[in-house]
């Protein structure tokens, strides 16, 4: 990524301070770029992640650091896979969903594939157990299960998220938070890039009720439900699309936040 900054510096002279920008460890929440003083992006008065960087590099640039070609002075190790980069490898959604649906039944290396997070193991096993059944129902109900649409209140632009890249609610919620940025940041710092699976240790705000937004989904019957109430496998078989709703509008959709908070907090990190 640094070489890209340098490239930009020659094009755009007002950004002469790029060389001073250093990448901190990890690109996940809070651990990202440390802004040098005198940076032109003075209006962002906090430590930003690469996502907040308004230069447009966002998530897609991180792939530049994967593999053999990355600049040596980047201070973190390459993540385990390429799944964080939007649209890479260049495969159509339809193909990826088809493969994923079959892989869940046949492939017992599923654990490795889905980020290897310990916190997901409980949900993962349940997913595998339900595997073949889920496969039948989901294929019949929605031939393209993997990618579902996501909208957030206040933004007309929807996104898509690949449910097959997750084995539990936690990683899904974190990915969505990254995708739409933290509600606490300024409104225009929306990200354009990847579906990053954050490796931070904070629980997802979308799930524990501490954010002003809450994650909901529309099921097969057209009802809007709060995400997290049913086992993951059942959720996958019934979800049609997602909506990140303002908490104030989500009344009556679910059991209390505190209950769900307890349920999700006991996963080892």
> According to the binding rule CB under 8 A, does residue 182 interact with other proteins?
no
Q: Which is nearer to other proteins, 37 or 92 (CB)?
A: 92
Q: How far is CA 184 from the centre of its chain?
A: 17
Instruction: List binders of other proteins among 129-148 (CB under 8 A).
Output: 139-144, 147
Q: Which is nearer to other proteins, 121 or 142 (CB)?
A: 142
Q: Which is nearer to other proteins, 61 or 205 (CB)?
A: 61
Contact pick of 27, 28, 49, 61 for other proteins (by CB under 8 A): 61
For the record, the structure tokens of 80 come out as 């385990």
Q: Which is nearer to other proteins, 88 or 224 (CB)?
A: 88
Helix (H, G, I), strand (E, B) or coil at 151: strand
Question: To the nearest whole angstrom, how small is the minimum distance from the Cβ of residue 143 to other proteins?
Answer: 2
* Phi, psi values for residue 5, rounded to 5°: -65, -40
Q: Vertex 182, ends 176 and 183: CA angle to 5°?
A: 110
Contact (Cβ atoms closer than 8 angstroms) between residue 85 and residue 165: no
Instruction: List binders of other proteins among 70-99 (CB under 8 A).
Output: 70, 80-83, 85-96, 98-99
x/- binding map, residues 184-213, to other proteins, per CB under 8 A?
Answer: ---xxxx-xx--------------------
Helix (H, G, I), strand (E, B) or coil at 246: strand
Distance CA(231)–CA(237), nearest Å, equals 10
Question: To the nearest whole angstrom, how small is the minimum distance from the Cβ of residue 47 to other proteins?
Answer: 19
Q: Which is nearer to other proteins, 107 or 261 (CB)?
A: 107
Contact pick of 39, 60, 121, 247 for other proteins (by CB under 8 A): 60
**Candidate ranges 19-27, 49-57, 117-125, 212-220; the one touching other proteins (CB under 8 A):** 49-57
Instruction: List binders of other proteins among 235-264 (CB under 8 A).
Output: none
Q: Which is nearer to other proteins, 110 or 119 (CB)?
A: 110
Helix (H, G, I), strand (E, B) or coil at 14: helix
Question: What element of type H or E holds 34?
Answer: strand 33-34
Question: To the nearest whole angstrom, how small is the minimum distance from the Cβ of residue 158 to other proteins?
Answer: 5
Question: To the nearest whole angstrom, how small is the minimum distance from the Cβ of residue 123 to other proteins?
Answer: 19
Contact pick of 39, 107, 247, 261 for other proteins (by CB under 8 A): 107
Residues in the chain: 269
Distance CA(116)–CA(104), nearest Å, equals 15
Residues in contact with other proteins, total (CB under 8 A)? 71
Shortest CA distance to 208 belongs to which of 230, 228, 188, 224?
228
For the record, the structure tokens of 146 come out as 């993997």
Shortest CA distance to 260 belongs to which of 224, 201, 215, 200?
215
Q: Is the dihedral of CA 253, 255, 258, 264 positive or negative?
A: negative
> According to the binding rule CB under 8 A, does residue 45 interact with other proteins?
no
């Amino acid at each position: 990524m640094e070489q890209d900054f340098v490239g930009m510096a020659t094009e755009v002279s007002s950004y002469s301070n790029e060389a001073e920008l250093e990448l901190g460890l990890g690109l996940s929440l809070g651990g990202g770029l440390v802004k040098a003083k005198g940076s032109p992006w003075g209006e962002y008065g906090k430590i930003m992640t690469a996502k907040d960087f308004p230069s447009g590099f966002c998530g897609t640039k991180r792939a530049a650091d994967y593999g053999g070609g990355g600049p040596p002075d980047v201070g973190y190790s390459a993540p385990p896979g390429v799944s964080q980069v939007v649209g890479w490898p260049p495969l159509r959604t339809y193909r990826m969903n088809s493969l994923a649906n079959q892989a869940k039944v046949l492939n017992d290396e599923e654990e490795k594939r889905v980020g290897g997070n310990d916190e997901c193991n409980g949900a993962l096993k349940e997913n595998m157990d339900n595997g073949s059944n889920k496969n039948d129902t989901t294929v019949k109900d929605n031939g393209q299960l993997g990618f579902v649409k996501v909208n957030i209140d206040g933004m007309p632009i929807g996104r898509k998220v690949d449910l097959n890249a997750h084995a539990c609610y936690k990683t899904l919620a974190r990915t969505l938070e990254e995708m739409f940025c933290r509600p606490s940041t300024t409104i225009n710092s929306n990200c354009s890039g990847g579906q990053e699976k954050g490796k931070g240790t904070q629980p997802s705000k979308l799930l524990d009720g501490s954010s002003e937004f809450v994650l909901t989904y529309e099921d097969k019957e057209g009802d809007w439900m709060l995400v997290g109430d049913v086992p993951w496998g059942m959720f996958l078989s019934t979800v049609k699309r997602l909506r990140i709703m303002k908490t104030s509008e989500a009344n009556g959709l679910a059991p209390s936040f505190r209950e769900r908070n307890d349920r999700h907090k006991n996963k080892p990190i």
